[in-house]
Structure 1
Amino acid sequence: MKEPEEPLPDSGAVFTFGKSKFAENYPSKFWFKNDVPVHLSCGDEHTAIVTGNNKLYVFGSNNWGQLGLGSKAAITKPTCVKALKPEKVKLAACGRNHTLVSTEGGNVYATGGNDEGQLGLGDTEERNTFHVISFFTSEHKIKQLSAGSDTSAALTEDGRLFMWGDNCLGQIGLKNVTNVCVPHQVTIGKPVSWISCGYYHSAFVTTDGELYIFGEPENGKLGLPNQLLSNHRTPQLVSEIPEKVIQVACGGEHTVVLTENAVYTFGLGQFGQLGLGTFLFETSEPKVIENIRDHTISYISCGENHTALITDIGLMKLMLKIWKARRKLWEIMKVFLQVPTVKQKEQKEPVMIAQLKPLKRKKKPTWRNGPFLNTMKTQKDTCLVMQRAVH
């Protein structure tokens, strides 16, 4: 007889699914004893998780020291970075082979590959332990971190954006340099509210809801008309979106934009990652995903060739139904996913995740902050966090 499913703890759990070099390629979950997962980020082949107790856990590939554990051995289970325990980690961002973290004290640390200066340490030597980026002080108050292939970005609470690393295609917005090894401010004269680094392009949202984009101009992923592509090395306004922009997510060759009323996509679409209902090869014109217009989307994320969205209204509407009809976890979460795989036909429209099994509970949960979802920057894997309040 099959053993009963282990209950999901009130503190929440991390769910993973997709391609893996270190485990079986089927959905799984894990959680932390006496701690809550609150933030996560996925790189090419590694993952970083920040918990409610401000601890940093890492696992995955470690060929460049991107786990920051002092060696280059791959780790298959979440492992605490003990050296950062006194620092109280707040945020983490994983690039192709490097990792960034910020702490409650205002420090920013980096580890891993550094060929293009993406660690921000003033040189191009890789590290296998976390080193503090001396540029940042407690005055910067980091709000968001993002990492691309060999690029890094930090956004402060007062709207200042700093970027560093590879700029061969203009992906950090500095016109006349190929790379920088220390943070440089990127400015258009307006404060910034959101930043996303893709593989070779980046985008940010201003506090007044405008979208600016820059980097590699191929496959329509900048959402710009042809006459503006020559200026791709500096931030360009995406004027084709007639609504106030809230978030942006940059994938490998596509871009997803969340506005107050819709989700727009543009760029490469041959795997269905644009969610437009066709395998459109590419488009530079921002297009609305029509079949989710009746959902209120709260978070967007991109992998190399797939896209994931989360809706808050779906969560609230289906909370009660789980208890009356014992519906599956994925029905509560109302997560829509685009995942190209070898064994599964590519999806050209958003579909609800059906891999997660029903979870038994001892008592009805309440939501803390809703789920946090992150997709690999370049691979076909996805992680998400389900959070529950402690009763």
Structure 2
Amino acid sequence: MIFNHYSAKLSELDLAFSRAVPPGGNWRDIPENLPSKRLEQIRKSAAEGKGSRSTYYGRLLPNAPSYTIGTYYTRPGNGCFLHPDAEQHRTISHREAARLQSFPDSFEFSGSQRQICMQIGNAVPPLLAMQIAEALGPAGQMVDVFAGCGGLSLGFKWQGWATLAATDFNRDAVDVFNRNVGGRAFVGDMNDDAVIDRLVESTRGRASDKPLAVVGGPPCQGFSTGGRRRTESDERNHLHERYSLLLDRMEPDFFVFENVTGLLSMSGGAFLERILAGFDRVGYDTCVWKMNAAEYGVPQRRVRVIIVGTKKGIKRLPIKPLEWTSVNAGDLLIERPATTVWEAIGDLPAVTAGENLRTPNYRNRPFGDYQRLMRGSIDPKAFLSSTRGDKANLAA
């Protein structure tokens, strides 16, 4: 069964917009005689030099990676989310968004349609997480905080890591985590001392010969440059202090802290320095990686900041994984082009807007290793071995 192959219902006006936009096109292709307050605002903003809004009402290009899959991919006016096939007048389905995030078809999301959008859009792509885990060296055990539906844990699991415990404040996301990754997640708020107590307790009696890691990233809306309000007073911006408290009490060998690139520029960079200083105070050396998922086999331009920390006394910090796919044509250093949208979703059956297709039938046999990965006919390690050509930069 192909789970979650649901495409959101669109209004007649949005359907008319969709018919006007070709692959690679956007709101500029929509005739001005189609009345829309939303389009009036976009045109006015562009004319005033406040940004081109180039992705709004955009249709994906089949032969390129997608733009970032956010939590509003069911709304054509909020980004480039129209299906790349110009004959399908709809936004991408949940399953297509999940594939662009590198979640396999066996991973089933649940909850309201809005909750599913949040689970998929907020996740770390598992394929990217797997390569971060690989850079840490031999697999060990981990605790996942702000875990969402489990993108980080799934990627670490693919690399051989075991999740001892995970937590998130969203019950639907925790249910999805437990059903798909393993039953170690619980509902909790990191501001609650009892939650930190429970996470620390989960590591009692762990295998002493295996490394221990804490992974996760606080909610990113407070750092995002796409937000309307971006201020240090946003309470979500201070959850890093709770993260540091957990490190201080648990004393893992490694940690991985993931967030949006807006973290780099908050308060002119001073905010990041305070976060790093907090990690230093509790005994961790750190390095900051800026990673574009599209350069690591994921069919999506998703740029994130990854802070990796090691307990002081470990000989060296992990080395950032080498990029092995290129988003730029003609790149002389990286020959392999990025995985494209069509390579990711081209075998999924056609649906119409508002249709929730429940079928075991794909459009055709899988073409390419990425579709084989999504359909479970090749495992993640075999996928990386066959596609990147041993270009990994391992921290053995």
**Structure with a larger share of its residues in helix:** 2
Structure with greater Cα Rg: 2
Relative to the length of structure 2, the TM-score reads: 0.29
**Structure with a larger share of its residues in strand:** 1
